[in-house]
Amino acid sequence: MPYISLLNYWKNHDIEGVTNMVDDQVAAYYINEIGEPVALSKSHLIDMLHKRMKQVESNKNLQWNFEVIHRAHIYDKQTVIFYTYSQESSDYHETNKTMIAITFSARKANDPSPIKSIYITPNVKDFHN
């Protein structure tokens, strides 16, 4: 389950560990404020995450939280969808989260499953009545 390694690296601000998990030819997209996907290179993706890690690490009131929403196997690949947020609220439904969908390639002997695609959607709130 490569997503567990990814979340451990992320929570511990290990940008090198995360970087090693991302395929050099990753298909990465950031969904902007008007809902359009913006393509990211691996270096831009890692740079964005590294900057955010530094912000969380430097503020004692922030910490990484992850909530796995869904896991699935598609052919020989694994897809994981999760929320991440760094500031908790007493009203969980009002907490701004980032939703991330990641696809890992098939695992090979002695080779961790690299991240083949990632979609990042910020400012997500739970839908509730």
6: nearest Cα among 76, 78, 58: 78
Q: Which residues in the chain land under pLDDT 70?
A: 107-112, 128-129
Residues of the chain above pLDDT 90, percent? 68
Per-residue pLDDT at 95: 80
Per-residue pLDDT at 1: 74
What's the whole-model pTM score? Answer: 0.88
List the domain boundaries for the chain. Answer: 2-124
- CA distance from start to end of the chain: 34
Cα atoms found within 13 Å of the Cα of residue 47, Cβ hemisphere only: 5
Per-residue pLDDT at 49: 96
Per-residue pLDDT at 110: 64
Which tokens go with 126? 């739970």
Per-residue pLDDT at 90: 72
Confirm if 22 and 46 have CB atoms less than 8 A apart.
yes
CATH number for region 2-124: 3.10.450.50
